[in-house]
Structure 1
Amino acid sequence: MVAEAEIVCQQNMGVSDVKFFPNKGSNIHEIGDADAIISPPSFDRVRPSEPVSAELLTSQDDAKTADAISDAALESAVLQFVPCIRSGSFADIGPRRYMEDEHVRIDDLSSHLGSLYNFPNPSAFYGVFDGHGGPEAAAYIRKNVIKFFFEDVSFPQTSEVDKVFLQEVENSLRKAFLLADSALADDCSVNTSSGTTALTAFIFGRLLMVANAGDCRAVLSRKGEAIDMSEDHRPIYPSERRRVEDLGGYIEDGYLNGVLSVTRALGDWDMKLPKGAPSPLIAEPEFRQMVLTEDDEFLIIGCDGIWDVMSSQHAVSLVRKGLRRHDDPERCARDLVMEALRLNTFDNLTVIIVCFSSLDHRESEPSPPQRKLRCCSLSAEALCSLRSLLEGGASN
């Protein structure tokens, strides 16, 4: 499988994909151009107060923390189903004036990082970064994603997936989120009012791990049933509201301190200063893990522009229908974005779809209608006339 990292940076309705193929063994620090991104004169920081879809699935029995996944379950993963990973993505500026979303898509992490890294097979990495207050924060995280998530944190390496590796990965990802957040405060090219939500998904063998800070969402399809692999960090949710108020913050009209529609994000240092002081806006991610089975078909990773106008189950059903028809995750990602636009979303749109296998029982093309043969009976006199006619023709 060819190593691939897809980076999207748009300022208009068109999509521009830049493929990135680092040399194996090289010291990888940045993805994308090193040129500074010039900010437009002004940006909408507070998102419009549109109603948020309340149809969210709550059955999360299968999404577990690191401690809840037993060694036996991880050991059995080696002997059973192994996902065959492929993915597709699509992004659109939507009705906004500026594109502030970024994403990264790496289907073969081992090949992408080179021989210096040793991971279980298969290994993959995906991320969606939904910026606000300007594109600088999301673009900065995307450009330095390999540095933050692998180099600076000494990402754990092994060919075996066990409970120790699982805990080490979680610790490294938590550190990576916090380091990236701190780097945004120190880099003078990033405005202190610019921030980004961040959702990353890792696949190691049959292990799926999602880390989330913000309101992007990952949804797993298990036999067509939507399973949320992340929780939207919004001020309206009781657990986040309690945490915010305990740290001295307040919720006004559904916004953190009357300003921000999320309670977790990287950047936004004008709301976190002084650095090191407790803040109701945090970059701490939450984690969910899953041991994949043959029933797990694909994962949808999308920014909130998707989930503002459709439920997790709606998205899964739409993608599943498309995969059964043409088995193309790229087309399904585009269809999902087009559906959100049809439903009048008011935000930028970014979707990644990760397939774990080809769906069976694809919808077959309708067969052409069969011509029905009509039977009729002939009288004895008609049969004699027909016989005479045929015999006369044969004698000529």
Structure 2
Amino acid sequence: MEDSVSSGSENVVSSECRPPNPLDETIRQCFAGINIGSTPIMGTIVRHPSLNKSLGFSVEPELSGKNGKPEYIPVVRSGAWTDIGNRKNMEDTFFCCDDFADEYDFKNTGNGPSAFYGVFDGHGGKHAADFVCSNLPRLIMEDDDFPKHIDKVIASAFLQADTAFAEICTTDSDLASGTTALAVLVVGRSLIVANVGDCRAVLSRRGKAIEMSHDHKPSFIREKMRIEATGGYVDDGYLNGQLNVARALGDWHMEGMKDSDGVGPLSAEPEVMKMKLTEEDEFLIIGCDGIWDVFRSQNAVDFARRKLQEHNDPASCSRDLVDEALKRQSDDNLVVVVVCFNSKPPPALAIPRARVHRSISAEGLRELQGFLDSLAAESAVPPML
């Protein structure tokens, strides 16, 4: 068990500035130039061999809506906050980029935003989280099929990052660690969420919480069936008695989790969900499991909505969520990213008055009339002396 320490928050990060690269200079030098076989990690993107399957959804430019009217275009603003919480080391990190077309010199041919956000919850050290955070966006953006075949590109990028980190760990065993990963892209009106592990993304649609990811816990039926089908087992909620997540990147040093091809009970393949944003979509909360240990999804949306109505600042809202999680005694590292889809704060919701429709049958009317007549008759009888 780790020794607990006093809490300490990182500086707030907002849309006005992109957060710095989470890797320090020593680790950057260690990660630079690593090859996967004949494929350099910092060079040309090669499709992961496990993804030779049919294409899924794509993102196409949207120029006009129904009746020739302009489509709704979201306006993205973001902010983030982190806190070490009641832990000895900070192993979580995040990524915020409100305009990857500018940051990555990407030619965005459609209207609307081109944004990328991510939360990475490390375990057994921070190296895997740092590596994936620094390389996953590039692996996605530099793929020739992005953004047209976005689900296939994202899945490939996750697996490429996992394989690349395995190669790094063979050269330096001190880097051995693992991480969950949740990546969010906003391309025009399309919201795409890819998740490996138990971080969570929750959308507020006019105050209603919509979960855009599934927690990958070993005890969940679907994950348990997949684990057992690949030779693993679940013991007291832990994968092979060791991990409390069913999917993660890294962890190559743990026996029985993955073979040399990355196949095994511990999967690095993300679940990808897509939604078309509308005028009713207000903001998205992306958080590590330390947040969701003490917040239900709807509770987090209600709390964040009130705060955004007060100050309309996604960075301050992220800090509010972290501070509240600490008050609720979350004992994990904490990372939150809040992404707003409108320049205005969420509107106040009018609660409609309930309209009660009353009806009574003819038989009921007759019974009621008989009861009233009997009361009238009794009142007409003179009192007995």
TM range (shorter): 0.7 to 0.9
Does 2:12 align with 1:13? no
Residues 119-198 of structure 1 aligned to structure 2 (within 5 Å): 120-151=111-142, 153-157=143-147, 165=148, 168-187=149-168, 188-189=171-172, 191=174, 193-198=176-181
Residues 36-51 of structure 1 aligned to structure 2 (within 5 Å): 36=27
Per-residue deviation at 1:248?
Answer: 1.0
Match of 1:267 in 2: 250
Secondary structure in structure 2 of the residue aligned to 1:212: strand
Match of 1:258 in 2: 241
- Kept in 2: contact 1:84–1:355 (CA 8 A): yes
Supply the distance in 1 between the matched residues of 2:163 and 2:89 (Cα, whole angstroms): 25
Q: Which of these residues, 274, 296, 305, is aligned with residue 290 of structure 2?
A: 305
Supply the distance in 2 between the matched residues of 1:156 and 1:325 (Cα, whole angstroms): 38
- Kept in 2: contact 1:219–1:229 (CA 8 A): yes
- Kept in 2: contact 1:87–1:329 (CA 8 A): yes
- Kept in 1: contact 2:72–2:189 (CA 8 A): yes
Structure 1 stretches lacking a partner, 5+ long = 1-10, 23-29, 39-65, 158-164, 364-396
Match of 2:3 in 1: none
Supply the distance in 2 between the matched residues of 1:189 and 1:139 (Cα, whole angstroms): 15
Supply the distance in 2 between the matched residues of 1:258 and 1:189 (Cα, whole angstroms): 26
Q: After TM superposition, which residue ranges in structure 1, 4 or more long, deviate above 6 angstroms?
A: 68-75
Q: Which of these residues, 293, 311, 314, is aligned with residue 299 of structure 2?
A: 314
Does 2:326 align with 1:341? yes
Residues 18-33 of structure 1 aligned to structure 2 (within 5 Å): 32-33=23-24
What amino acid is aligned across from residue 320 of structure 2 in structure 1?
D
What amino acid is aligned across from residue 225 of structure 1 in structure 2?
K
Q: 1:339-379 deviations in whole A, cap 9, x for unaligned?
A: 1111111110000000001225469xxxxxxxxxxxxxxxx
Residues 1-396 of structure 1 aligned to structure 2 (within 5 Å): 13-16=8-11, 32-36=23-27, 76=65, 79-114=70-105, 118=109, 120-151=111-142, 153-157=143-147, 165=148, 168-187=149-168, 188-189=171-172, 191=174, 193-271=176-254, 272-276=257-261, 278-357=263-342, 358-361=344-347
Q: 1:285 to 1:119 in 2, by over 3 A?
A: farther
- Kept in 2: contact 1:223–1:296 (CA 8 A): yes
Q: 1:317-336 deviations in whole A, cap 9, x for unaligned?
A: 00000111111111111111
Per-residue deviation at 1:278?
Answer: 3.1
Match of 2:367 in 1: none
Q: 1:42-98 deviations in whole A, cap 9, x for unaligned?
A: xxxxxxxxxxxxxxxxxxxxxxxx968999999749932110100111000000110
- Residue range with higher mean Cα deviation, 191-200 or 321-330: 191-200
Secondary structure in structure 2 of the residue aligned to 1:36: helix
Per-residue deviation at 1:179?
Answer: 0.3
Per-residue deviation at 1:12?
Answer: 7.0
Q: 1:332 to 1:274 in 2, by over 3 A?
A: same
Q: 1:208-243 deviations in whole A, cap 9, x for unaligned?
A: 000000000000000100000000000121110111
Q: 1:110 to 1:21 in 2, by over 3 A?
A: farther
Supply the distance in 1 between the matched residues of 2:172 and 2:23 (Cα, whole angstroms): 16
Supply the distance in 1 between the matched residues of 2:284 and 2:315 (Cα, whole angstroms): 13
Between the two proteins, the alignment pairs up a number of residues equal to: 309
Supply the distance in 2 between the matched residues of 1:176 and 1:297 (Cα, whole angstroms): 29
Per-residue deviation at 1:114?
Answer: 1.8
- Kept in 1: contact 2:12–2:79 (CA 8 A): no
Q: 1:235-290 deviations in whole A, cap 9, x for unaligned?
A: 12111011111111111111000100000000000233531163100100001111
Supply the distance in 2 between the matched residues of 1:169 and 1:69 (Cα, whole angstroms): 6
Per-residue deviation at 1:120?
Answer: 4.6
Structure 2 stretches lacking a partner, 5+ long = 1-5, 30-54, 350-385
Q: 1:245 to 1:186 in 2, by over 3 A?
A: same
Match of 2:34 in 1: none
- Kept in 2: contact 1:300–1:353 (CA 8 A): yes
